[in-house]
Amino acid sequence: MKEVSNMNKNEINYKQLKELFIKYYGESDQEIRFFTSPGRINLIGEHIDYCGGLVFPAALTLSSVCAVRLNGTNTVNLRADDLEGLYSFDLDNTEAGKELKWGNYQAGVIHHLMNEGYEVNGMDFLFSGTIPFGSGLSSSAAIELTTALASATLSNNVAEKGIDLIKLALIGQKAEHTFCGVNCGIMDQFASAMGKENSAILLNCANLDYKHVPLDLGEYTLILANTCKKHALGSSAYNKRREEVAEGLIRINNALGTSKENLCDFTEDDYIKAESLLPADKIRDRIKHVIFENERVKKAADVLSQGDLSAFGEILREAHKSISELYECTGFELDTMFDIACGFEDCIGSRMTGGGFGGCTINIVKKTSTDKFIEFVGSEYTSKTGITPEFYICDIGNGAREIKI
Ligand code: GLA
C-alpha cells in the first residue's frame, strides 16, 4: 500500500515492536511471536453478506499486527503501541472482557475459541497496525483474526484442534456479535482470514463457498479515497438495517407465497413480481437494494473476468446509487466523494466500500492520471466539505498469518 497522502504510518517495524514489547512486559525465556491480519476493501456486494448474498472483497496490505508471548499465568494482558494503559482479563472470566474500554474484541475472540475447545493460555499482547481506524476498512475484523490466530497457535492443544482460518473467521464474527454489539455478516472476517495477493474473493455468504479471482486492472489502478468522516458501525444504523431486511424477507415471502431462507435467494424477476404487492416504504427499498445488488455482483464478476473494465466501473456506479438511495448507508461526505470522482474523466468506476456512514470510496483510475485524480478530487472534496481527505493506492495482500522475523 503506497502512502500518497498524510497517513501517519505505513510499514510495521517489527524490531521496534519487539523492543517496545520488552519495555512493557520485560524479558522472559518464552519466545515472542508475531501475527498479522489485513483490512479489506469490498469491490461490490454491500450489505448483503447477512442476506446470504455474494460479495467480492479483497484483503489489503494494511494490517493489524500483534507481538505475543506466553506469560505462564491465567491472565491475558493487552496493550497497543498507540494507546496508554494495560487492559487485562482472566481466562476464568472472559465475559468480564466485555466491559474493557479497549480489548473487548480480543476478549470475545478468546472467549469463543475456548468455547470451541481450544485450551488458551495466559499471554501478553502488544498490538500495532496500519489500518486507519474508523475508515470502513475493517480494522476490527483484522484485530479479531490476529488475536484468533495467535491465541489458537499458542494454545495447549493446537496440534489436536488444528488451525482452520475459516473457523477463526466465524469465531471473529461471533465475538463481534456478542462482545461488541455489532450484528455483522461474515465478509470482513472472511476476507481478513482468506485474502490472497492480487486477488479478490468471490464469496457466497449462504454457504461460504469461495474462489479467488485475479484482480488485473491493466492500465488502471484502485485508489481508496478516505472521506475522513469516521463511520460508527456500533451505532444502531447497521443493526437497524439487519432488522429491516429480516422484516423484508417476511414480507416478500408472504407476497410471493414462498418460504425462502435468504433475501438473496430471490431474483430480480421475483422482485418485479412482488413489487406492487409490497407496501411502498423503506423496507421495500431495502429489499430492492439487496436483491439487485446480489445480481450486480454476478454481473461484475463476469465482466471483470472478460476484462471489460468500463462495464465493471459502470456496475460499481450503479451499486453506489443503490446503497445511497435505497439502502441509505452513505451520507453527505461519501456521496460528495463519489460525485466528484465520477466527474473525473479517467475514473471509470467509483463507489463507497464497507459498512458506510463515512469511511472510504474505491475508485478505478487510469494509472497515468493518479496524481491528477488525487489533486482534483482532494481539493474539490475539501472545498465542499471542509475536510481534508486521504488517498491510498490499493495493494491487494494476503490473509492472516504468522510473521517470522
Ligand atoms: C460491515 C460488516 C460486514 C458487511 C459490510 C457491508 O463491514 O462488518 O459484515 O455487512 O459492513 O457490506
Q: What is the 3-state secondary structure (H, E, C) of the chain?
A: CEECCCCCCCCCCHHHHHHHHHHHHCCCCCCCEEEEEEEEEECCCCCCHHHCCEECEEEEEEEEEEEEEECCCCEEEEEECCCCCCEEEEHHHHHHHHHCCCCHHHHHHHHHHHHCCCCCCCEEEEEEECCCCCCCCCHHHHHHHHHHHHHHHCCCCHHHHCCCHHHHHHHHHHHHHHHCCCCCCCHHHHHHHHCECCEEEEEECCCCEEEEEECCCCCEEEEEEECCCCCCCCCHHHHHHHHHHHHHHHHHHHHHCCCCCCHHHCCHHHHHHHHCCCCCCHHHHHHHHHHHHHHHHHHHHHHHHCCCHHHHHHHHHHHHHHHHHCCCCCCHHHHHHHHHHHCCCCEEEEEEECCCCCCEEEEEEEHHHHHHHHHHHHHHHHHHHCCCCEEEECCECCCCEEECC
Which atom of ligand 1 is the closest one to the Cα of 48?
12
Cβ of residue 355 lying under 6 Å from some atom of ligand 1: yes
What was the pLDDT predicted at 96? Answer: 96
**Among protein residues, the one whose CA lies closest to atom 11 of ligand 1:** 355
Task: Please list the residues that pair with 57 across neighbouring strands.
Answer: 42
Which atom of ligand 1 is the closest one to the Cα of 140?
8
CA of 122 to the centre of ligand 1 (A): 31
What was the pLDDT predicted at 236? Answer: 84
By most ligand atoms within 8 Å of CB, the mutation choice from 43, 47, 50, 294 for ligand 1 is 47
Pairing of strands 75-80, 123-129: parallel
Q: Is residue 188 flagged as an active site residue?
A: yes
CA of 26 to the centre of ligand 1 (A): 39
By most ligand atoms within 8 Å of CB, the mutation choice from 49, 239, 245 for ligand 1 is 49
Cβ of residue 318 lying under 6 Å from some atom of ligand 1: no
Which atom of ligand 1 is the closest one to the Cα of 55?
12
**What contacts 172, CB < 8 A, 6 or more positions away?**
109, 141, 144, 145, 148, 189, 192, 193
Cβ of residue 185 lying under 6 Å from some atom of ligand 1: yes
What was the pLDDT predicted at 10? Answer: 63
Cβ of residue 49 lying under 6 Å from some atom of ligand 1: yes
Which atom of ligand 1 is the closest one to the Cα of 329?
6
pLDDT in tens, the chain (405 residues): 444 433 334 689 999 999 999 999 999 999 999 999 999 999 999 999 999 999 999 999 999 999 999 999 999 999 999 999 999 999 999 999 999 989 999 999 999 999 999 999 999 999 999 999 888 999 999 999 999 999 999 999 999 999 999 999 999 999 999 999 999 999 999 999 999 999 999 999 999 999 999 999 999 999 999 999 866 544 689 999 999 999 999 999 999 999 999 999 999 999 999 999 999 999 999 999 999 999 999 999 999 999 999 999 999 999 999 999 999 999 999 999 999 999 999 999 999 999 999 999 999 999 999 999 999 999 999 999 999 999 999 999 999 999 998
CA distance 358 to 331: 7
Q: Which of 396, 404, 278 is nearest to 38 (CA)?
A: 396
Note whether 125 and 67 are within 8 A (CB).
yes
CA of 388 to the centre of ligand 1 (A): 25
What was the pLDDT predicted at 232? Answer: 56
Cβ of residue 187 lying under 6 Å from some atom of ligand 1: yes
Cβ of residue 144 lying under 6 Å from some atom of ligand 1: no
By most ligand atoms within 8 Å of CB, the mutation choice from 143, 173, 188 for ligand 1 is 188
Which residue is catalytic, options 49, 81, 124, 188?
188
What was the pLDDT predicted at 101? Answer: 87
CA of 259 to the centre of ligand 1 (A): 25
What is the arrangement of strands in the sheet containing 220-226, beginning at the earlier edge strand? 2-3, 390-393, 220-226, 360-366, 347-353
For residue 176, give the C-alpha cell. 463481534
Cβ of residue 57 lying under 6 Å from some atom of ligand 1: no
DSSP H or E run through 88: strand 87-90
CA of 21 to the centre of ligand 1 (A): 32
Which atom of ligand 1 is the closest one to the Cα of 50?
10
H-type alpha helices, 162-212: 165-179, 187-194
What was the pLDDT predicted at 8? Answer: 37
**Among protein residues, the one whose CA lies closest to atom 1 of ligand 1:** 355
**Among protein residues, the one whose CA lies closest to atom 5 of ligand 1:** 355
